[in-house]
Chain A
């Protein structure tokens, strides 16, 4: 099956530092990847849609300068949380759908738990 690798799985950082999260599709090409944020016991909140070779599309209320997304290739998207603060602490998850498969099947990375001190 399709595999999405997300690293790191857990990050603890000081307030004011930047954190980069990588999302890779290992055995398929993903023209589009999605970045989500999830608070405990809540649903997945879509932050942005990442398209290969173009600028990401951010959801309303998500600061594009705060959450930098780069989709450099058909298998890699990165999310950088810039100048992280404690309120940015959350579970961040990426997903991708195969360029050649059903568009409504999402394959998720394992998630990154970010704790900002």
Chain B
């Protein structure tokens, strides 16, 4: 099966840069994805990595190291609206590509 570890909570101030780490265990790796979820809302897709390296999408970047079973989400120029839960999810190869989600990291951005 799959399992993921990510910090439960991270706090930062507006304008800062924050990194949310995610380590995973999986048998057969297809990709690592990141999702944002605001309170009361549904998750929205942010970024994904299938290969090693950094993927940049505006203020958000995601990094993957398959040899280390490790990835992170980097949020730059933090804004108050970035306060949300962030989930990493690993998808195993083969079959239905069922994603397994981490427990989520609550990001609190202070003024």
Q: Which of A80-117 contact B (CB under 8 A)?
A: 93, 95, 97, 102-111
Residue of B nearest to A49 (CB): B96
Q: Are A104 and B41 in contact (CB under 8 A)?
A: no
Interface range on chain A (Cβ under 8 Å from partner): 20 to 34
Q: Is the interface of B mostly helix, strand, loop or mixed?
A: strand
Contacts of A43 in B (CB 8 A): 87, 101-104
Q: How far is the CA of A6 from the CA of B42 in the complex (A)?
A: 10
Chain B interface, number of residues (Cβ within 8 angstroms): 25
Contacts of B87 in A (CB 8 A): 43-44
- A78 interface residue per 8 A CB criterion: no
Q: How far is the CA of A109 from the CA of B37 in the complex (A)?
A: 12
Given contacts A43-B101, A46-B98, A103-B30, contact A108 B43 (CB under 8 A): yes
Q: Are B91 and A104 in contact (CB under 8 A)?
A: yes
Q: How far is the CA of A95 from the CA of B45 in the complex (A)?
A: 11
Partner of B99, one of A42, A93, A106, A111: A106
Q: Are A104 and B101 in contact (CB under 8 A)?
A: no
Contacts of A103 in B (CB 8 A): 30-31, 91, 97
Q: Are B101 and A105 in contact (CB under 8 A)?
A: no
Q: How far is the CA of A104 from the CA of B35 in the complex (A)?
A: 12
